[in-house]
A and B are shown apart, each in its own frame.
Chain A
Amino acid sequence: MTNIFQQLSDQMAGVAIQVQNTLVQITDGRGSIGAGTIWHSDGLIVTNAHVVIEHDRRGLVQQRQLSVILPDGRTLPASILAIDEANDLAALAVNAQDLPVIEPGDSQALRPGEWVMALGHPWGVRDSMTAGVVIGAGNNLPEMQPGREWIALNLTLRPGHSGGPLVNTDGHLVGINTMISGPEVGFAVPSHVVKNFLKEALGAAGTVV
Protein backbone atom coordinates (compact mmCIF):
# COMPACT_ATOMS: atom_id res chain seq x y z
CA MET A 1 0.00 0.00 0.00
CA THR A 2 1.45 3.33 -1.01
CA ASN A 3 1.07 6.35 1.22
CA ILE A 4 -0.89 9.43 0.16
CA PHE A 5 2.29 11.30 -0.75
CA GLN A 6 3.26 8.58 -3.23
CA GLN A 7 -0.28 8.42 -4.60
CA LEU A 8 -0.37 12.18 -5.19
CA SER A 9 3.02 12.01 -6.83
CA ASP A 10 2.04 9.09 -9.08
CA GLN A 11 -1.21 10.69 -10.16
CA MET A 12 0.50 13.95 -11.03
CA ALA A 13 2.99 12.03 -13.16
CA GLY A 14 0.02 10.31 -14.81
CA VAL A 15 -1.57 13.65 -15.68
CA ALA A 16 1.78 14.82 -17.09
CA ILE A 17 2.01 11.84 -19.46
CA GLN A 18 -1.62 12.20 -20.53
CA VAL A 19 -1.27 15.92 -21.30
CA GLN A 20 2.20 15.70 -22.89
CA ASN A 21 0.49 13.68 -25.65
CA THR A 22 -1.32 16.82 -26.77
CA LEU A 23 1.43 19.35 -26.10
CA VAL A 24 3.41 20.77 -29.01
CA GLN A 25 6.47 22.95 -29.27
CA ILE A 26 6.41 25.95 -31.59
CA THR A 27 9.62 27.03 -33.30
CA ASP A 28 10.67 29.78 -35.67
CA GLY A 29 13.29 27.70 -37.45
CA ARG A 30 16.01 28.85 -35.04
CA GLY A 31 14.64 27.57 -31.77
CA SER A 32 11.71 27.13 -29.45
CA ILE A 33 9.43 30.16 -29.14
CA GLY A 34 6.66 28.64 -27.07
CA ALA A 35 4.15 25.89 -26.53
CA GLY A 36 0.84 24.93 -28.06
CA THR A 37 -2.06 22.66 -27.35
CA ILE A 38 -3.68 20.30 -29.86
CA TRP A 39 -7.35 21.24 -29.96
CA HIS A 40 -8.55 19.18 -32.91
CA SER A 41 -7.28 15.92 -34.38
CA ASP A 42 -7.02 17.40 -37.89
CA GLY A 43 -4.17 19.68 -36.90
CA LEU A 44 -5.80 22.62 -35.12
CA ILE A 45 -3.44 23.99 -32.50
CA VAL A 46 -4.06 26.74 -29.96
CA THR A 47 -1.32 28.99 -28.62
CA ASN A 48 -0.77 32.59 -27.57
CA ALA A 49 -0.81 35.37 -30.15
CA HIS A 50 2.46 36.71 -28.69
CA VAL A 51 4.17 33.40 -29.49
CA VAL A 52 3.51 33.58 -33.23
CA ILE A 53 3.40 37.28 -34.03
CA GLU A 54 5.50 40.25 -33.10
CA HIS A 55 5.37 43.97 -33.60
CA ASP A 56 8.07 45.81 -35.51
CA ARG A 57 8.33 49.14 -37.34
CA ARG A 58 5.99 47.96 -40.06
CA GLY A 59 3.41 46.79 -37.53
CA LEU A 60 2.21 43.30 -36.89
CA VAL A 61 4.34 40.56 -38.43
CA GLN A 62 4.20 36.83 -38.34
CA GLN A 63 7.17 34.86 -37.08
CA ARG A 64 9.08 33.48 -40.04
CA GLN A 65 9.38 29.76 -40.63
CA LEU A 66 6.72 28.92 -38.13
CA SER A 67 6.69 25.22 -37.41
CA VAL A 68 5.36 22.84 -34.84
CA ILE A 69 7.05 19.84 -33.23
CA LEU A 70 4.35 17.26 -32.54
CA PRO A 71 4.37 14.91 -29.53
CA ASP A 72 5.33 12.06 -31.91
CA GLY A 73 8.48 13.98 -32.90
CA ARG A 74 7.43 15.14 -36.36
CA THR A 75 8.21 18.75 -37.26
CA LEU A 76 5.58 20.28 -39.54
CA PRO A 77 5.24 23.77 -41.04
CA ALA A 78 2.37 25.71 -39.46
CA SER A 79 0.14 28.47 -40.73
CA ILE A 80 -1.85 30.99 -38.72
CA LEU A 81 -5.62 30.49 -39.07
CA ALA A 82 -6.76 33.24 -36.72
CA ILE A 83 -5.43 35.73 -34.19
CA ASP A 84 -7.20 37.38 -31.26
CA GLU A 85 -4.72 39.97 -30.02
CA ALA A 86 -7.04 41.28 -27.30
CA ASN A 87 -7.14 37.87 -25.63
CA ASP A 88 -3.60 36.91 -26.74
CA LEU A 89 -4.81 33.82 -28.58
CA ALA A 90 -3.87 32.26 -31.92
CA ALA A 91 -5.12 29.26 -33.88
CA LEU A 92 -2.58 27.40 -36.02
CA ALA A 93 -3.00 24.68 -38.59
CA VAL A 94 -0.60 21.87 -39.43
CA ASN A 95 -1.16 19.27 -42.09
CA ALA A 96 -1.80 16.18 -39.99
CA GLN A 97 -4.65 13.88 -39.08
CA ASP A 98 -5.65 11.73 -36.12
CA LEU A 99 -3.66 13.73 -33.60
CA PRO A 100 -4.41 13.16 -29.90
CA VAL A 101 -6.46 16.10 -28.59
CA ILE A 102 -6.65 17.72 -25.18
CA GLU A 103 -9.83 16.96 -23.22
CA PRO A 104 -11.84 20.12 -22.59
CA GLY A 105 -12.47 21.13 -18.97
CA ASP A 106 -14.82 23.63 -17.36
CA SER A 107 -12.84 26.79 -16.66
CA GLN A 108 -15.91 28.52 -15.24
CA ALA A 109 -16.12 25.89 -12.48
CA LEU A 110 -12.59 26.63 -11.16
CA ARG A 111 -12.44 27.49 -7.47
CA PRO A 112 -9.73 29.36 -5.55
CA GLY A 113 -7.46 26.82 -3.86
CA GLU A 114 -8.03 24.19 -6.56
CA TRP A 115 -4.93 22.25 -7.74
CA VAL A 116 -3.90 22.82 -11.35
CA MET A 117 -0.92 21.92 -13.53
CA ALA A 118 0.69 23.90 -16.35
CA LEU A 119 2.72 22.30 -19.13
CA GLY A 120 5.10 23.81 -21.61
CA HIS A 121 8.76 24.16 -22.50
CA PRO A 122 10.20 26.71 -20.02
CA TRP A 123 13.51 28.08 -21.31
CA GLY A 124 13.17 25.45 -24.04
CA VAL A 125 13.14 22.51 -21.62
CA ARG A 126 10.68 20.17 -23.33
CA ASP A 127 7.42 18.91 -21.86
CA SER A 128 7.86 20.36 -18.38
CA MET A 129 5.20 20.54 -15.74
CA THR A 130 4.66 22.98 -12.89
CA ALA A 131 1.80 22.81 -10.43
CA GLY A 132 0.05 24.93 -7.85
CA VAL A 133 -3.29 26.36 -6.88
CA VAL A 134 -5.77 28.70 -8.48
CA ILE A 135 -5.48 32.06 -6.71
CA GLY A 136 -8.66 33.40 -8.25
CA ALA A 137 -10.40 33.85 -11.57
CA GLY A 138 -12.59 36.39 -13.28
CA ASN A 139 -12.46 39.76 -14.97
CA ASN A 140 -11.73 41.88 -11.90
CA LEU A 141 -8.42 40.71 -10.43
CA PRO A 142 -6.34 43.27 -8.51
CA GLU A 143 -3.29 43.29 -10.78
CA MET A 144 -5.14 43.21 -14.09
CA GLN A 145 -7.12 45.70 -16.11
CA PRO A 146 -10.80 45.05 -15.48
CA GLY A 147 -12.90 43.55 -18.24
CA ARG A 148 -10.60 40.84 -19.47
CA GLU A 149 -10.93 37.34 -18.08
CA TRP A 150 -7.98 35.65 -16.40
CA ILE A 151 -7.10 32.79 -14.13
CA ALA A 152 -4.48 33.88 -11.56
CA LEU A 153 -2.18 31.01 -10.64
CA ASN A 154 0.19 30.27 -7.79
CA LEU A 155 2.73 28.33 -9.84
CA THR A 156 6.02 28.90 -11.61
CA LEU A 157 5.45 29.92 -15.23
CA ARG A 158 8.52 30.82 -17.27
CA PRO A 159 9.18 31.92 -20.85
CA GLY A 160 8.33 28.89 -22.99
CA HIS A 161 5.22 27.97 -21.03
CA SER A 162 3.27 30.44 -23.17
CA GLY A 163 0.57 28.75 -25.23
CA GLY A 164 0.78 25.52 -23.25
CA PRO A 165 -2.14 23.89 -21.48
CA LEU A 166 -3.30 24.55 -17.93
CA VAL A 167 -5.16 21.45 -16.76
CA ASN A 168 -7.20 20.39 -13.73
CA THR A 169 -6.65 17.19 -11.75
CA ASP A 170 -8.46 15.19 -14.47
CA GLY A 171 -5.95 16.46 -17.03
CA HIS A 172 -8.69 18.48 -18.72
CA LEU A 173 -7.91 21.85 -20.29
CA VAL A 174 -9.00 24.86 -18.22
CA GLY A 175 -6.68 27.52 -19.61
CA ILE A 176 -3.80 28.57 -21.85
CA ASN A 177 -0.64 29.67 -19.97
CA THR A 178 -0.02 33.26 -20.99
CA MET A 179 1.66 35.62 -18.56
CA ILE A 180 3.95 35.92 -15.56
CA SER A 181 3.64 38.35 -12.69
CA GLY A 182 6.53 37.90 -10.32
CA PRO A 183 8.38 34.63 -9.84
CA GLU A 184 5.49 32.58 -8.47
CA VAL A 185 2.36 34.08 -9.98
CA GLY A 186 1.16 33.33 -13.48
CA PHE A 187 -1.90 34.06 -15.55
CA ALA A 188 -3.81 31.86 -17.96
CA VAL A 189 -6.55 32.67 -20.46
CA PRO A 190 -9.58 30.58 -19.38
CA SER A 191 -10.54 27.78 -21.77
CA HIS A 192 -14.07 29.13 -22.26
CA VAL A 193 -12.50 32.27 -23.75
CA VAL A 194 -10.49 30.03 -26.10
CA LYS A 195 -13.66 28.19 -27.08
CA ASN A 196 -15.42 31.45 -27.94
CA PHE A 197 -12.42 32.65 -29.93
CA LEU A 198 -12.34 29.48 -32.03
CA LYS A 199 -16.09 29.48 -32.52
CA GLU A 200 -16.06 33.05 -33.81
CA ALA A 201 -12.93 32.69 -35.89
CA LEU A 202 -13.42 29.25 -37.37
CA GLY A 203 -17.07 28.40 -36.96
CA ALA A 204 -17.87 24.72 -36.60
CA ALA A 205 -14.23 23.68 -36.90
CA GLY A 206 -13.63 25.14 -33.47
CA THR A 207 -16.20 23.00 -31.77
CA VAL A 208 -14.76 20.10 -29.88
CA VAL A 209 -16.70 16.96 -30.70
Chain B
Amino acid sequence: MVEVLKSFSDAMADTVAQASAGIVRVEGRKRLAATGIVWSDDGVIVTAHHVLRRDDDIHIVLANGESHAATLIGRDPNSDLAVLRVNGTLQPIPKAPADQPVRVGNLVLALGRPGESVQATLGVVSAIGSGQMDGVIQTDVVMYPGFSGGPLVDASGFVRGMNTSGFMRGVSVTVSTEKITSVVDVLLKHGKMKQGFLGIGAQPVRLRENISEQVGQETGLMLASVEKSSPAEAANLYEGDIIVKLDGQPTRNLDELLALLNGERVGKAVPVTIVRSGQVQEVNVTIGEKQ
Protein backbone atom coordinates (compact mmCIF):
# COMPACT_ATOMS: atom_id res chain seq x y z
CA MET B 1 0.00 0.00 0.00
CA VAL B 2 1.35 3.38 -0.97
CA GLU B 3 2.06 5.50 2.08
CA VAL B 4 -0.20 8.35 1.01
CA LEU B 5 -0.33 9.87 4.49
CA LYS B 6 3.45 10.11 4.61
CA SER B 7 3.59 11.41 1.02
CA PHE B 8 0.92 13.99 1.87
CA SER B 9 2.90 15.12 4.91
CA ASP B 10 6.20 15.23 2.99
CA ALA B 11 4.59 17.12 0.11
CA MET B 12 3.29 19.80 2.46
CA ALA B 13 6.63 20.17 4.25
CA ASP B 14 8.39 20.29 0.83
CA THR B 15 5.97 23.00 -0.36
CA VAL B 16 6.82 25.06 2.73
CA ALA B 17 10.55 24.50 2.21
CA GLN B 18 10.37 25.52 -1.47
CA ALA B 19 8.42 28.72 -0.73
CA SER B 20 10.73 29.58 2.16
CA ALA B 21 13.21 31.63 0.08
CA GLY B 22 10.33 33.86 -1.05
CA ILE B 23 9.16 34.62 2.49
CA VAL B 24 10.87 37.37 4.44
CA ARG B 25 10.64 38.78 7.92
CA VAL B 26 9.47 42.42 7.94
CA GLU B 27 10.63 44.70 10.73
CA GLY B 28 8.55 47.84 10.62
CA ARG B 29 6.90 48.04 14.04
CA LYS B 30 7.92 47.88 17.65
CA ARG B 31 6.37 44.63 18.75
CA LEU B 32 6.47 41.32 16.93
CA ALA B 33 7.91 41.36 13.41
CA ALA B 34 5.64 40.42 10.50
CA THR B 35 6.00 38.67 7.16
CA GLY B 36 6.54 39.75 3.56
CA ILE B 37 6.32 38.05 0.16
CA VAL B 38 9.10 38.33 -2.42
CA TRP B 39 6.99 39.46 -5.37
CA SER B 40 9.56 39.73 -8.16
CA ASP B 41 13.24 38.90 -8.55
CA ASP B 42 14.20 42.60 -8.77
CA GLY B 43 13.65 43.15 -5.06
CA VAL B 44 9.95 44.03 -4.83
CA ILE B 45 8.39 42.78 -1.59
CA VAL B 46 4.70 42.83 -0.72
CA THR B 47 3.56 43.04 2.87
CA ALA B 48 0.58 44.26 4.88
CA HIS B 49 0.05 48.00 5.27
CA HIS B 50 -0.98 47.65 8.91
CA VAL B 51 2.24 45.94 10.03
CA LEU B 52 4.34 48.93 8.94
CA ARG B 53 3.92 51.44 11.73
CA ARG B 54 6.63 53.65 10.28
CA ASP B 55 7.71 54.78 6.80
CA ASP B 56 11.48 54.71 7.42
CA ASP B 57 13.93 52.39 9.11
CA ILE B 58 12.21 49.31 7.69
CA HIS B 59 14.27 46.14 7.45
CA ILE B 60 13.63 42.78 5.94
CA VAL B 61 15.40 39.55 6.86
CA LEU B 62 15.83 36.89 4.19
CA ALA B 63 15.59 33.12 4.63
CA ASN B 64 19.40 32.95 4.84
CA GLY B 65 19.41 35.41 7.74
CA GLU B 66 20.65 38.41 5.74
CA SER B 67 19.14 41.72 6.85
CA HIS B 68 18.47 44.40 4.24
CA ALA B 69 17.26 47.99 4.52
CA ALA B 70 14.00 48.33 2.61
CA THR B 71 12.48 51.39 0.94
CA LEU B 72 8.74 51.92 1.24
CA ILE B 73 7.41 52.35 -2.31
CA GLY B 74 3.82 52.97 -1.26
CA ARG B 75 0.78 51.83 0.67
CA ASP B 76 -2.85 51.10 -0.08
CA PRO B 77 -4.84 51.08 3.17
CA ASN B 78 -7.97 50.00 1.25
CA SER B 79 -6.44 46.63 0.39
CA ASP B 80 -4.04 46.62 3.38
CA LEU B 81 -1.10 46.30 0.99
CA ALA B 82 2.31 47.91 1.14
CA VAL B 83 5.14 47.56 -1.34
CA LEU B 84 8.80 47.57 -0.32
CA ARG B 85 11.95 47.42 -2.39
CA VAL B 86 15.39 46.11 -1.48
CA ASN B 87 18.57 46.06 -3.52
CA GLY B 88 19.56 42.73 -4.91
CA THR B 89 18.12 39.71 -6.64
CA LEU B 90 15.58 37.68 -4.69
CA GLN B 91 13.72 34.46 -5.35
CA PRO B 92 9.97 35.08 -5.67
CA ILE B 93 7.27 32.48 -4.97
CA PRO B 94 5.80 31.42 -8.34
CA LYS B 95 2.34 32.69 -9.31
CA ALA B 96 -0.38 30.43 -10.69
CA PRO B 97 -1.19 30.48 -14.41
CA ALA B 98 -4.38 32.42 -15.14
CA ASP B 99 -6.18 29.24 -16.25
CA GLN B 100 -5.73 27.59 -12.84
CA PRO B 101 -7.92 29.58 -10.47
CA VAL B 102 -8.03 28.67 -6.80
CA ARG B 103 -11.24 26.85 -5.89
CA VAL B 104 -13.45 26.56 -2.82
CA GLY B 105 -12.35 23.41 -0.99
CA ASN B 106 -8.69 23.58 -2.06
CA LEU B 107 -6.14 22.89 0.67
CA VAL B 108 -3.90 25.88 1.28
CA LEU B 109 -1.01 26.80 3.57
CA ALA B 110 -0.55 30.14 5.29
CA LEU B 111 3.15 30.84 5.74
CA GLY B 112 4.96 33.32 7.91
CA ARG B 113 8.39 34.27 9.10
CA PRO B 114 8.02 36.43 12.22
CA GLY B 115 11.12 34.74 13.63
CA GLU B 116 14.11 33.13 11.97
CA SER B 117 12.46 30.11 10.41
CA VAL B 118 9.41 29.80 8.23
CA GLN B 119 6.17 28.64 9.87
CA ALA B 120 3.01 27.12 8.45
CA THR B 121 -0.68 26.57 9.13
CA LEU B 122 -3.07 24.56 6.98
CA GLY B 123 -6.61 25.31 5.93
CA VAL B 124 -9.28 25.17 3.28
CA VAL B 125 -10.43 27.83 0.83
CA SER B 126 -13.87 28.80 2.14
CA ALA B 127 -15.01 31.42 -0.38
CA ILE B 128 -13.78 33.44 -3.31
CA GLY B 129 -14.95 37.02 -3.03
CA SER B 130 -17.04 38.69 -5.69
CA GLY B 131 -18.79 42.04 -5.96
CA GLN B 132 -17.74 44.20 -3.03
CA MET B 133 -15.46 41.39 -1.83
CA ASP B 134 -13.75 41.14 -5.21
CA GLY B 135 -10.06 40.42 -4.81
CA VAL B 136 -10.52 38.72 -1.44
CA ILE B 137 -10.19 35.01 -0.68
CA GLN B 138 -11.61 33.65 2.56
CA THR B 139 -10.05 30.61 4.19
CA ASP B 140 -10.06 28.96 7.60
CA VAL B 141 -6.26 29.11 7.99
CA VAL B 142 -5.08 30.11 11.44
CA MET B 143 -3.16 33.37 11.46
CA TYR B 144 -0.32 32.64 13.85
CA PRO B 145 1.18 35.82 15.41
CA GLY B 146 3.30 37.64 12.82
CA PHE B 147 1.68 35.92 9.83
CA SER B 148 0.13 39.14 8.46
CA GLY B 149 1.77 40.04 5.15
CA GLY B 150 2.65 36.41 4.45
CA PRO B 151 1.57 34.29 1.49
CA LEU B 152 -1.29 31.88 1.03
CA VAL B 153 0.28 29.02 -0.92
CA ASP B 154 -1.60 26.27 -2.74
CA ALA B 155 -0.79 22.58 -3.19
CA SER B 156 1.29 23.37 -6.29
CA GLY B 157 3.37 25.89 -4.38
CA PHE B 158 1.79 28.87 -6.15
CA VAL B 159 1.19 32.06 -4.17
CA ARG B 160 -2.56 32.74 -4.10
CA GLY B 161 -2.52 35.96 -2.12
CA MET B 162 -1.42 37.80 0.99
CA ASN B 163 -2.93 36.95 4.35
CA THR B 164 -3.87 39.75 6.69
CA SER B 165 -5.75 40.11 9.93
CA GLY B 166 -5.67 43.88 9.55
CA PHE B 167 -9.21 44.48 8.31
CA MET B 168 -11.17 43.33 11.32
CA ARG B 169 -10.12 42.09 14.70
CA GLY B 170 -10.18 38.32 14.83
CA VAL B 171 -11.00 37.92 11.15
CA SER B 172 -8.33 37.17 8.62
CA VAL B 173 -8.63 37.32 4.86
CA THR B 174 -6.38 36.85 1.89
CA VAL B 175 -5.89 39.58 -0.70
CA SER B 176 -5.78 37.76 -4.03
CA THR B 177 -2.72 37.67 -6.28
CA GLU B 178 -4.69 39.46 -9.02
CA LYS B 179 -5.55 42.32 -6.67
CA ILE B 180 -1.97 42.52 -5.42
CA THR B 181 -0.64 42.64 -8.98
CA SER B 182 -2.88 45.57 -9.88
CA VAL B 183 -2.03 47.47 -6.68
CA VAL B 184 1.71 46.77 -7.04
CA ASP B 185 1.62 48.09 -10.63
CA VAL B 186 0.01 51.36 -9.54
CA LEU B 187 2.23 51.82 -6.48
CA LEU B 188 5.43 51.16 -8.46
CA LYS B 189 4.30 53.75 -11.03
CA HIS B 190 2.77 56.43 -8.82
CA GLY B 191 3.82 55.66 -5.24
CA LYS B 192 0.20 55.89 -4.15
CA MET B 193 -3.23 54.66 -5.15
CA LYS B 194 -5.45 56.95 -7.15
CA GLN B 195 -8.84 57.61 -5.61
CA GLY B 196 -11.76 58.71 -7.72
CA PHE B 197 -13.52 62.02 -7.00
CA LEU B 198 -16.99 63.37 -7.78
CA GLY B 199 -17.17 66.49 -5.63
CA ILE B 200 -20.46 65.76 -3.89
CA GLY B 201 -21.90 65.45 -0.44
CA ALA B 202 -24.51 62.70 -0.27
CA GLN B 203 -26.58 60.63 2.10
CA PRO B 204 -28.55 57.43 1.67
CA VAL B 205 -32.30 57.76 1.19
CA ARG B 206 -35.12 55.30 0.67
CA LEU B 207 -36.46 55.24 -2.90
CA ARG B 208 -40.17 55.52 -3.76
CA GLU B 209 -41.74 52.16 -4.41
CA ASN B 210 -42.19 52.53 -8.17
CA ILE B 211 -38.59 53.77 -8.57
CA SER B 212 -37.34 51.02 -6.31
CA GLU B 213 -39.00 48.40 -8.50
CA GLN B 214 -37.65 49.99 -11.64
CA VAL B 215 -33.99 50.10 -10.53
CA GLY B 216 -34.04 46.95 -8.39
CA GLN B 217 -32.81 48.47 -5.11
CA GLU B 218 -34.42 50.12 -2.11
CA THR B 219 -32.00 52.95 -1.41
CA GLY B 220 -29.86 55.47 -3.27
CA LEU B 221 -27.63 58.45 -2.44
CA MET B 222 -29.23 61.89 -2.42
CA LEU B 223 -26.90 64.80 -3.21
CA ALA B 224 -26.80 67.36 -0.40
CA SER B 225 -24.11 69.45 -2.05
CA VAL B 226 -22.20 69.74 -5.32
CA GLU B 227 -18.79 71.40 -5.26
CA LYS B 228 -17.91 74.16 -7.70
CA SER B 229 -15.77 73.12 -10.70
CA SER B 230 -16.11 69.46 -9.70
CA PRO B 231 -16.72 66.46 -11.98
CA ALA B 232 -20.28 66.32 -10.63
CA GLU B 233 -20.95 69.95 -11.54
CA ALA B 234 -19.42 69.46 -14.99
CA ALA B 235 -21.88 66.60 -15.53
CA ASN B 236 -24.79 68.84 -14.49
CA LEU B 237 -25.64 66.96 -11.30
CA TYR B 238 -27.72 68.98 -8.86
CA GLU B 239 -28.59 68.92 -5.20
CA GLY B 240 -31.59 66.67 -4.71
CA ASP B 241 -30.56 64.21 -7.44
CA ILE B 242 -30.42 60.63 -6.17
CA ILE B 243 -27.54 58.53 -7.51
CA VAL B 244 -28.67 54.90 -7.76
CA LYS B 245 -25.95 53.40 -9.96
CA LEU B 246 -22.43 54.20 -11.10
CA ASP B 247 -20.99 52.35 -14.07
CA GLY B 248 -23.94 49.94 -13.83
CA GLN B 249 -23.23 49.01 -10.18
CA PRO B 250 -25.69 49.89 -7.39
CA THR B 251 -24.85 52.75 -5.00
CA ARG B 252 -27.14 51.80 -2.13
CA ASN B 253 -24.88 53.37 0.49
CA LEU B 254 -21.71 55.47 0.71
CA ASP B 255 -19.46 52.43 1.09
CA GLU B 256 -20.63 51.10 -2.24
CA LEU B 257 -20.03 54.44 -3.93
CA LEU B 258 -16.53 54.78 -2.41
CA ALA B 259 -15.62 51.27 -3.54
CA LEU B 260 -16.68 52.18 -7.07
CA LEU B 261 -14.60 55.38 -7.01
CA ASN B 262 -11.35 53.41 -7.23
CA GLY B 263 -8.22 54.37 -9.12
CA GLU B 264 -9.15 52.40 -12.20
CA ARG B 265 -12.10 54.72 -12.95
CA VAL B 266 -10.10 57.96 -12.57
CA GLY B 267 -10.23 59.95 -15.82
CA LYS B 268 -12.90 57.72 -17.32
CA ALA B 269 -16.36 58.83 -18.40
CA VAL B 270 -18.83 56.46 -16.76
CA PRO B 271 -22.65 56.32 -16.87
CA VAL B 272 -24.34 57.44 -13.64
CA THR B 273 -27.99 56.56 -13.11
CA ILE B 274 -29.92 59.18 -11.16
CA VAL B 275 -33.46 59.84 -10.01
CA ARG B 276 -34.50 63.42 -10.74
CA SER B 277 -38.07 64.73 -10.39
CA GLY B 278 -39.31 61.17 -10.02
CA GLN B 279 -37.70 60.08 -13.28
CA VAL B 280 -34.80 57.68 -13.78
CA GLN B 281 -32.15 59.24 -16.01
CA GLU B 282 -28.61 58.55 -17.05
CA VAL B 283 -25.79 61.08 -17.25
CA ASN B 284 -22.11 60.63 -18.09
CA VAL B 285 -19.60 61.72 -15.47
CA THR B 286 -15.85 61.91 -15.99
CA ILE B 287 -14.39 60.70 -12.68
CA GLY B 288 -11.81 63.09 -11.26
CA GLU B 289 -8.87 62.28 -9.04
CA LYS B 290 -8.98 62.96 -5.32
CA GLN B 291 -6.08 65.18 -4.28
Q: Is A11 positioned at the interface, with any CB of B under 8 Å from its CB? A: yes
- Taking CB atoms and an 8 Å cut-off, the chain A residues in 163-209 that contact chain B are 168-170, 182, 184-185
Are A169 and B6 within 8 A (Cβ)? yes
Q: Which residues of A contact B14 (CB under 8 A)?
A: 113
- Taking CB atoms and an 8 Å cut-off, the chain A residues in 107-145 that contact chain B are 111-116, 132-136, 138, 140-143
Report whether over half of chain B's contact residues are helix, strand or loop; otherwise say mixed: mixed
- Taking CB atoms and an 8 Å cut-off, the chain B residues in 1-38 that contact chain A are 1-6, 8-10, 12-17, 32
**Minimum CB distance partner of B116 in chain A:** A140
Q: Which residues of B contact A7 (CB under 8 A)?
A: 1-2, 4-5
Are B120 and A115 within 8 A (Cβ)? no
Chain B 92-118: CB-based contact to A (< 8 A → 1; otherwise 0): 000000000000000001000011111
Q: Which residues of B contact A114 (CB under 8 A)?
A: 9-10, 12-13
Q: Is B142 positioned at the interface, with any CB of A under 8 Å from its CB? A: yes
Are B121 and A135 within 8 A (Cβ)? yes
With beta carbons under 8 angstroms apart, the residue of B3, B5, B12, B116 that contacts A113 is B12
Q: Which residues of A contact B8 (CB under 8 A)?
A: 8, 115, 169
With beta carbons under 8 angstroms apart, the residue of A112, A141, A152 that contacts B16 is A112
- Taking CB atoms and an 8 Å cut-off, the chain B residues in 196-216 that contact chain A are none
Are A115 and B9 within 8 A (Cβ)? yes
Are B116 and A115 within 8 A (Cβ)? no
Q: Is A48 positioned at the interface, with any CB of B under 8 Å from its CB? A: no
The interface size bin for chain B is 20 to 34
Are B120 and A143 within 8 A (Cβ)? no
Q: How far is the CB of A195 from chain B (nearest CB, A)?
A: 22
Q: Which residues of A contact B266 (CB under 8 A)?
A: none
A141 to B142 alpha-carbon distance, docked (Å): 16
Are B114 and A134 within 8 A (Cβ)? no
8 pairs of A and B residues whose beta carbons are closest in the complex: A113-B16, A115-B9, A136-B119, A111-B13, A11-B5, A113-B120, A154-B121, A113-B12
**Which residues on B are within 8 Å of A, measured CB to CB?**
1-6, 8-10, 12-17, 32, 109, 114-122, 142, 144-146
Between A and B, 28 residue pairs with Cβ closer than 8 Å are A4-B4, A7-B4, A8-B4, A8-B8, A11-B3, A12-B5, A111-B13, A112-B13, A112-B118, A113-B13, A113-B120, A114-B13, A115-B8, A115-B9, A115-B12, A116-B9, A132-B121, A136-B120, A140-B116, A142-B146, A154-B122, A154-B144, A168-B9, A169-B3, A169-B5, A169-B9, A170-B6, A185-B144
**Which residues on A are within 8 Å of B, measured CB to CB?**
4, 7-8, 11-12, 15, 111-116, 132-136, 138, 140-143, 152, 154, 168-170, 182, 184-185
